Structure 1
Amino acid sequence: MFTGILINKDESGYRASCEQIDEALLPEGEVTVRIDWSSLNYKDGLAITGQGPVVRRFPMVPGIDFAGTVSDSRDPAWQVGDKVVLNGWGVGEAHWGGLAQQARVRGEWLVPLPAAFSARQAMAIGTAGYTAMLCVQALERHGIVPDSGDILVTGANGGVGSVAIALLAKLGYTVVASTGRSSEAAYLKTLGASAIIDRNELSAPSKPLGKERWAGAVDTVGSHTLANVCAGIRYRGAVAACGLAQGMDFPASVAPFILRGVTLYGIDSVMAPQLVRREAWEHLGRDLDPAKLEAITHEIGLSEAIATAGQLMQGRVRGRVVVDVNR
C-alpha cells in the first residue's frame, strides 16, 4: 500500500481524496519509481478541482511531474537506485501521476535527475520551470539577445512566469512583468523584473496593432492577452506562448505577423522529445539561480495538496509549490 491523491467520477460526482492505494493497482509500465517529491501545477489544480476536463480516465492519480528513485525496472536504460525526473507525457491525465508515493511509467518518459539539483529542487522547477526554459530557448534561437529590448512575461506570479523572470534576468535581459496582483511587485522585482504592468492593460479587446513595446515575450495567459502581446511586439520580434489561463481563444489579426514579421512560437512541454528535455534541464542547471528558485518555492505535504489546488485556482498561490509526498 502507498498513499496518494485519487480522483474518482461516478454517480456520486467528481471528487478527489488522499487515501491508501494498493500497489497492485499501479498502471502498466517498465519502471516503478519511489517518489520523493512532486509539485502542484495549474493543470493539477484543474484536475483536482474538476474545473477543467483534464482527467481522461478514472480513477486517476493526478500530478504531471515527479522526482524520485527507481525501485524496479524492466527497461535496460534504468537501474534500481537511479535518480529520475518526469514531466508531462499525459501523466496525471491519462496515466497515473506524481501526487503519490509511487508511480509506474514507461522508461522513455524519464530523464536523469540533473547533478545540479536535488529531487526537491527539481520539483521546485517542475513542469512549470522546464516549460519556462523552453520558452526562453525559443526566444534565444530566434536571435533575441539582451540588447534587443525588453522582454514581457505575462502571468508573472505563476510558476512559469516566476521561473521565466528569474531565467531571463540571470541571462541579462530586461524583464517587464505583467500581473493582476500589484501587491506582488516587490516579489517580482526580487526575481529580476525591472518593471511591472497591470494585466488589465492587456486583457481586454484591443487594436490589431499597438505601439511597438517589447522585443519578445513569454505568454502564459492566451486569449485577449496573447493577442495584445503580439500587437505590441517590435519588428521581427517573437512570442513564446505556453498557457491559457485567460482562455484558449486567440482573438487576433494577422497584422503583427505580416506587417511586423512577428513570430509566434507554440511551446509544448508535454510531448517534447528526449533530446529537447535533456537540453532544457542542462540549461536550467546552468542558468537558474538556486537562491531565486528557493525564493519562489513553498512546501506542502501530500495531505495539503487538495486544499492548495483550490487556492491555486482562485489565484491565491504564487510561484512554485513542491509537495513532500511522504507527509
Structure 2
Amino acid sequence: MFKALVLNQQDANTVSTVEQLDDSSLPDGDVVVSVEYSSLNYKDGLAITGKGRIIRQFPMVPGIDYAGKVLTSSDDRYQPGDSVVLTGWGVGENHWGGMAEKASVPADYLVPMPTGLDSRKAMIIGTAGLTAMLCVMALEDAGITPDKGDILVTGASGGVGSVAITLLDQLGYQVVACSGREQNNEWLKSIGADRVIPRDDLLEPAKPLEKQLWTGCIDTVGSKVLAKVLTQIDYDGAVAACGLAGGFDLPTTVMPFILRGVKLLGVDSVMCPFERRTQAWSRVAELLPETFYSNAGNEVALDAVPELAEAITNGQVTGRTLIKL
C-alpha cells in the first residue's frame, strides 16, 4: 500500500483526496520509483483545482515532477537503488504523477540524478528550475550575453522566475525582476535581482514600439505583459517565453520583429529531448549556489497540497513548494 493524492470528478467538479492505494493501482511502466519528493507547480494547481483543462481522464494522481529511488526496473538503464528525476512527458496530466509515495513510468521519461543533487534539491529546482535553465540557454543560443544590457524576468516571484533570476545572476547578467507583490522585493534582490519593477508598469496598453529597455527577457506571464515587453526589447534582442499565467493570448503587432529584429523564443520543458534535458539539468546543478536551496524551498506534506493548489493559481505562492512523500 502507498499514499497518494487522487483526483476525481463529481458533478463536473474536480475533487482531491489523500488515499491509500494498492500497488496494483500503479499504471504500466518500465520503472517503479519510490518517490521521495515532488513539488507544486502552477500547472499542478490548475489540475487540482479544476481551473484548467489539464486532466481529461480520471482518476488521476497529479504531480508533473518528482525525484526518488528506483524500486524495480525492467530497463537496463536503471537499477534498484538508482536516484532519478522526472519532469514533463504528460506525467500528472495523462499518466499518473508524482504526488504519491510510488510511481511507475516508462524508462524514457527518467533522467539520472545530476551530480551534486539529491531528491530534495532536485525538487527545489523541479520543472520550474529546468524550464528556467532552458530559457537561459535559449537566450544564450540567441546571442544574448551579459555585456549587452538588462534582462527582464516577469512573474519573478514564481517558481520559474525565481530560479531564472538566480541563474542569470550567477552567469553575470544584470537582472530586473517584475513582480506584482511588493512585499517580495527584498527577497527578489537577495536571490539575484539588481532591481525590481512593479507589474503595473507592464499592464498599460502597449504602443507598436516603445523605448528600448531590455536586451532580453524571460517571460512566464504571456498576454498583455508579453505584448508590452516585446515593444521594449532592444534591437536584435530576444524573449524566451515559457508561461501563460496572465493568459494565452498575445495582443501585439509585427513591428518589434520586422523593425528591431526581436526574436520570440518558445521554450517547452515537457517534451524536451533527453540530450537537451540532461544538459540543462547538469548546468542548473552546477550554477545554483548552496544558499539558493535554503532560501527558495517551502516544504509541506501531501495533506496540505489542495489548499496550496488554490493559492498558487491565485498568485499567492512565492518561490518553490516541495512535497515530502
Please, what TM-score do these two structures have when normalized by structure 1? 0.98
Separation (CA, whole Å) in 2 of partners of 1:143 and 1:79:
40
Other structure's SS at 1:193 match: coil
Percent of residue pairs identical = 53
Q: 1:54-93 alignment to 2 at 5 Å?
A: 54-93=54-93
Matches within 5 A, 1:88-99: 88-99=88-99
SS of 2:238's equivalent in the other structure is strand
Deviation digits for residues 19-68 of structure 1 (CA, Å, limit 9, x no counterpart): 11121111111110000000000000001111110112110000000001
Aligned to 1:296: 296
Distance in 2 between residues matched to 1:294 and 1:110, nearest whole Å: 26
1:163 and 1:293 in contact (8 A); partners too:
no
**Residue 128 of structure 2: aligned partner:** 128
Superposed CA RMSD: 0.9
Measured in 2, the distance between the counterparts of 1:11 and 1:154 equals 37
Question: Which residue pairs with 2:160 in the alignment?
Answer: 160
User: Aligned partners of 2:27, 2:130: CA distance in 1, in Å?
Assistant: 25
Q: Which letter maps to 1:28?
A: D
Matched, 1:235 2:235: yes
Instruction: Pick closer, same or farther for the CA change 1:80–1:204 going to 2, 3 Å.
Output: same
Match runs of 1:1-327 below 5 Å = 1-11=1-11, 13-325=13-325
Structure 2 residue runs without a partner (length 5+) = none
Deviation at 1:10, TM superposition (A): 3.7
- How far 1:131 sits from its partner (Å)? 0.2
CA distance in 2, matches of 1:296, 1:145: 26
SS of the residue 2:8 aligns to:
strand
SS of the residue corresponding to residue 194 of structure 2 reads strand
Structure 1, 257-266 or 200-209: larger mean CA deviation: 200-209
- Partners of 1:96 and 1:103 within 8 A in 2: yes
Q: How far apart in 2 are the matches of 1:242 and 1:208?
A: 22
- Whichever residue aligns with residue 207 of structure 2, its letter is K
Inter-CA distance 228–12: structure 2 relative to 1 (3 Å threshold): closer
Q: How many Å apart are 1:12 and its aligned residue?
A: 7.2
Provide structure 1 residue ranges, at least 5 long, that are not aligned to the other structure: none
* CA-CA distance at 1:285 after TM superposition: 1.6
Deviations 1:54-89 (A, max 9, x none): 112110000000001110111111111110000000
Query: 1-side partners of 2:277 and 2:5: how far apart?
Result: 27
Deviation of residue 110 (structure 1)?
Answer: 0.2
Superposed CA offset, 1:86-135 (max 9, x none): 00000000000001100000000000011211110000000000000000
Distance in 1 (CA, whole Å) between partners of 2:7 and 2:242 is: 26
* 1:12 to 1:283, Cα distance in 2 relative to 1, 3 A: closer
Provide the C-alpha distance between the structure 1 equivalents of 2:280 and 2:87, rounded to a whole number of angstroms: 12
Contact in 1 for aligned 2:115/2:282 (Cα 8 Å): no
The CA distance in 1 between the partners of 2:204 and 2:155, in whole Å, is 15
Q: Say which SS state the counterpart of residue 204 (structure 1) adopts.
A: coil
Amino acid at match of 1:189: K
1:242 CA drift (Å): 0.2
Aligned 8 A contact 2:34 2:69 in 1: yes
Distance in 2 between the 1:229 and 1:288 partners? 27
Deviations, residues 158-179 of structure 1 (Å, cap 9, x unaligned): 0000000000011110000000
Tell me which amino acid in the other structure corresponds to 2:230. Answer: C
- Which residue type is aligned with residue 187 of structure 1? W
TM-score, structure 2 as length reference: 0.98
SS in 2 for 1:318: coil
Aligned AA (2:272) = A
What is the distance in 2 between the residues matched to 1:266 and 1:195?
A: 26
Task: Name the SS for the 2:215 alignment partner.
Answer: strand
Q: Distance in 1 between matches of 2:316 and 2:285?
A: 29
